[in-house]
Amino acid sequence: MKKIKNALISVYNKDGLTELIKILNEQGVSIYSTGGTEDFIKSMSIPVLKVENLTGYPSILSGRVKTLHPKVFGGILSRRHVIEDKKELQQYDIPEFDLVIVDLYPFEATVQSGASADDIIEKIDIGGISLIRAAAKNFKDVAIISSKDDYDYFLDIIKETNGCTTEHQRKNLALKAFNISSHYDTSIFNYFNANTEHSTQLAFKQSILKASVLRYGENPHQKGTFFGNFDEMFEKHNGKELSYNNLVDIDSAIALIEEFTTPTFAIIKHTNACGVASRATLSEAWDEALACDPVSAFGGVIVCNKKLDIETASKINQLFFEVLIAPGYELNALTVLCQKKNRIILTQKPIQLSNKQFKTLLNGVVEQEKDSTIENEEQMQPVTIIKPTSKEFNDLFFANKIVKHTKSNTIVLVKNTQLVASGVGQTSRIDALQQAITKAKTFGFDLNGAVMASDAFFPFPDCVNIAAQVGITAILQPGGSIKDQDSINEANKHQIAMVFTGIRHFKH
């Protein structure tokens, strides 16, 4: 146990500090402070010692230098069990600091606020980060409080022990401190790296302070943790705790629904769409999306892009589903949907999601930009004698959005802005097409007049031939095969329109 005799307190955010200072004062702790924190403590009529009286130097350079001095860092870093350290403290009249309470300038918040570059640079903390690291390094003798989030925890400790801390407690606080300091440095690095004019430093540095332990990972025998602030992105109205698989499907659902502006519903199962439709009303869109594959829709993740009304909610209420996501709900709609306690009902908040994707591979990480490209009619270059009609162009555009968010190899069949069927994650494009055709027929869809989209080129004309046999009238593909002309000739032979986009949409 170590008794706290001297404390250094210098914080940017004073929220929640009052009770802690009162308790420290009641326990006879001498408090040293600087600037605004010193004024704050004085306003409480509590004695406070000026750091500048200890160092013999005032705060200089508009507050850039206040605590960077041997009399401060010596008192923090001195080893209590080392006789030479004690002698030097006595020689230079340096007090031993047993407690340091410091937070950091709000660098991330300043960046997010859109502040000027000069303002952002001024929020790079120097003294604070140095004090945190010094106190955390010397955790065997010093307690470090590096965030207001730890005030209550620390208060409980010193109230119970009358101002003493154990080495275990100090080490735990040091762990928290190094977590904060490493996160802070990562934020600064990523700011500079993203704003470098000519080149970037290739280094993978990510830090997320918020984490949630999941019930389990992809399967019950796997552990799982979500690192991120889910509440920042969604408001949860109802339902059980989110699972690893829920989160993966929600991510896929949001990525897909963001492609659409007209009233649209999508139903996701194992990250792939089993139903998508756009209509004049949300209620009609739901009917058509569910009709795509009502069997797979069971237990799926549902997402729409308009405020959910009571009529549509009543229809959805008849289906067993895991998660429902909407940008808003009519009050009565929310009441209906929350009748079953395990359903997860979410409102998507209007927050910009990151454009970066990461994946762990081979004891490393691959990073890429999200596939944010989608080709419109201008990028769909007709390569056949027959050109797509405006209706076919519209359906091809719709189909390509779904292709982009479906596991490769994939074929997507669409008719009247409704997903008719898709072939998902197949090892050959022929298998993907055959799977899609079989599913479409299973649910009674007439493929005459439907369109087909592929995530990659056709190396052979076989898929075009199969499509012709079931009545497909227009095909979208990226092109790029050395045998492109064979597919074009096959399409001409069957009077099918074909467009090349020049953009591949693999999703592995």
Where is the domain boundary, 194, 210, 241? 194
- Examine the domain organization and report whether 173 and 27 are in the same domain: yes
Q: State the catalytic residue, choosing from 237, 270, 315, 494.
A: 270
Average pLDDT across the chain, whole number:
94
Does residue 61 surpass a pLDDT of 90? no
137 noted as active-site residue: yes
- Examine the domain organization and report whether 101 and 145 are in the same domain: yes
Q: State the catalytic residue, choosing from 137, 315, 387, 441.
A: 137
Tell me which H or E stretch contains 110.
helix 107-112
Confidence of residue 378 (pLDDT cuts 50, 70, 90): confident
- Among 16-20, 199-203, 277-281, the minimum mean pLDDT is found in 199-203
With contact defined as beta carbons under 8 Å apart, do 66 and 51 qualify?
yes
**What does the pLDDT look like over 236-289, one tens digit per residue?**
999 999 999 999 999 999 999 999 999 999 999 999 999 999 999 999 999 999
Instruction: For residue 104, give both structure tokens.
Output: 């950091």
**What does the pLDDT look like over 385-401, one tens digit per residue?**
999 999 999 999 999 99
pLDDT of res. 56: 85
Backbone phi, psi, residue 468, to 5°: -65, -35
- Examine the domain organization and report whether 328 and 385 are in the same domain: no
- Residue 190, domain member (yes or no): yes
The model carries a pTM of 0.86
- Examine the domain organization and report whether 24 and 131 are in the same domain: yes
Instruction: For residue 235, give both structure tokens.
Output: 């408001």
Domain region containing 394: 381-500
Where is the domain boundary, 172, 194, 216? 194
Does residue 8 surpass a pLDDT of 90? yes
- Examine the domain organization and report whether 73 and 148 are in the same domain: yes
- Examine the domain organization and report whether 335 and 483 are in the same domain: no
- Residue 203, domain member (yes or no): no
Instruction: For residue 60, give both structure tokens.
Output: 């200089």
Does residue 200 surpass a pLDDT of 80? no
CATH code where residue 485 lies: 3.40.140.20
- Residue 201, domain member (yes or no): no
- Among 143-157, 183-197, 261-275, the minimum mean pLDDT is found in 183-197
User: How many separate domains does the chain show?
Assistant: 3
* Helices 18-26 & 151-161 angle (0-180, nearest 10): 20
- Residue 290, domain member (yes or no): yes
pLDDT of res. 198: 61
- Residue 215, domain member (yes or no): no
**What does the pLDDT look like over 209-224, one tens digit per residue?**
899 999 899 999 999 9
Instruction: For residue 502, give both structure tokens.
Output: 């020049």
71 noted as active-site residue: no
Placement of tokens 């072939």 in the chain = 423
- Examine the domain organization and report whether 344 and 385 are in the same domain: no
